[in-house]
Structure 1
């Protein structure tokens, strides 16, 4: 409850800043004698549109601001650990060298196996036609900020679901059935969005739940958040910055579906292939962990 409360408070703070930005412009214009100033009306004017664009990540700055909302989970988890468990946030990650090593491994595994599956799909009708969505020069300009934003977003989810919830459950219950299944279910349901996913809603929940299960198992096996974080980071870079097929969070996508759009029938095989990717990456990581 504290984690969620601080997350909500942080989002309200960012929303207030988003509301006040046009007000600052109006104050400047009023001070220069270029117009009248109504702080309430001018602040609300267009606010819903700006808020909606942030929620959808519809343009580069909106996407980056959306990623920054996940800082609330970092703040909330840190305070919760301090108040209730007398622990530091760094204790959820594991030893720094191990985290860095496993993060790199996760990114490499996802890139190699995901690239191989993408190459295979490109030779079949399963991969729909793509088109350039963002000017490459603009994409490169925003890329560092976007990568940092995705690092924050994926790190926040790993902290809450694998670091805090799974870690606390594992400390209390010896059975993997408890400490692996509950974070998996919660992670899957956190992506429940029938307004955007339509008939594929539960398939999306199952796909994200499968990723959550793989991440939870690898966290338990490796002893740090690095591997799950690396996989999560690489997966979201692919889905948000490289190829957008879900119709949201596409403000900085380099490629997107052609004008035909993402129908439910078109997305279903892509989601199934994503599940195949996750199983393959999980198996490869487990094999690597067993051999090292």
Structure 2
């Protein structure tokens, strides 16, 4: 399971692999993330006033307006900064080590492959009629900041779960059950929200765990987070900007589903389809990487 690229990626983490540093780093990430969110919420309330601020913050829960989507994406700035601070303060390593080898090139290639696979799936018939959501003019107006926000959000999650947790766990444990599976399980469980997803909560967790495993494997093979970030970026851009679930970050989507995240009739088959597409994307990227190894 270990590759030369992954060994080089983990090497900086081996300098200070103490478990207390990993725990401390996780705390740093959580504190920076929550402090950033709190500061943003206080700022919004201070600017708009208590009543308008409370109403505006209420819209953030569902993300059904363009501003709400952008603010929600911006809250991930703290999560992005957290691991960069932790690896410098507690592990005495350069923040650049969390990105690994050729992050820009592998991001671009993986994002391109993912986008092509997603475009191919558009030809398949859907079991529902999508509802037109955001007017084209509004969509184009917010497109650039929305893409920047999605880049930030997906990058933050990849830095935490693959860049930081996976490398730090691999520095202490040889078994991939620890450094691949454990971060994927944590990533999936953080998507557990039965209050809004009802009986679909286990399905959503399962889909997130599968993605976590795919992202972990791409990190293992490439020795960096670029490929996983590219897949994550296109996946979330599609779910936020193209077709969003009704009432779930749908404020900037061109279309939305006629059902929400708690629909037990339609969502599970949709999630199974998405999981199959995730596996196909993974297989295509692995084939591209294998071809590159042969020609290189």
- Give the structure-2-normalised TM-score: 0.86
What does 1:125-274 align with in structure 2 at a 5 Å threshold? Answer: 126-245=126-245, 247-258=247-258, 263-274=263-274
The 3 A distance-change label for structure 1 pair 57 and 145 is same
What is the aligned length? 265
- Contact 1:245/1:267, CA 8 A, preserved across alignment: no
Secondary structure of the corresponding residue to residue 180 of structure 1:
helix
Cα distance in structure 1, aligned partners of 2:184 and 2:137:
38
Q: Tell me the CA shift for residue 245 of structure 1.
A: 2.3
Q: Tell me the CA shift for residue 209 of structure 1.
A: 0.7
Cα distance in structure 2, aligned partners of 1:275 and 1:74:
26
Cα distance in structure 2, aligned partners of 1:255 and 1:203:
23
Cα distance in structure 1, aligned partners of 2:36 and 2:42:
10
What residue is the counterpart of 1:80 in the other structure? Answer: 86
Cα distance in structure 1, aligned partners of 2:253 and 2:132:
9
Cα distance in structure 1, aligned partners of 2:187 and 2:222:
20
4+ residue runs of structure 1 moved beyond 6 angstroms?
A: none
Cα distance in structure 2, aligned partners of 1:55 and 1:168:
33
Greater Rg by CA: 1
**Does residue 291 of structure 2 align to residue 291 of structure 1?**
yes
**Does residue 116 of structure 2 align to residue 90 of structure 1?**
no
Cα distance in structure 2, aligned partners of 1:235 and 1:118:
14
**Structural RMSD (CA):** 1.3
**Does residue 52 of structure 2 align to residue 46 of structure 1?**
yes
Cα distance in structure 2, aligned partners of 1:150 and 1:261:
21
Secondary structure of the corresponding residue to residue 264 of structure 1:
coil
Which consecutive residues of structure 1, in runs of 5 or more, have no partner in the other structure?
23-42
Equivalent of residue 108 in structure 2, options 104, 109, 117: 104
Secondary structure of the corresponding residue to residue 265 of structure 1:
coil
Equivalent of residue 17 in structure 1, options 43, 51, 56: 43
Which consecutive residues of structure 2, in runs of 5 or more, have no partner in the other structure?
1-26
Cα distance in structure 1, aligned partners of 2:242 and 2:97:
33
Cα distance in structure 1, aligned partners of 2:290 and 2:174:
22
Equivalent of residue 66 in structure 2, options 60, 68, 88: 60
Q: Tell me the CA shift for residue 246 of structure 1.
A: 5.2
Q: Tell me the CA shift for residue 104 of structure 1.
A: 1.1
Cα distance in structure 2, aligned partners of 1:247 and 1:286:
35
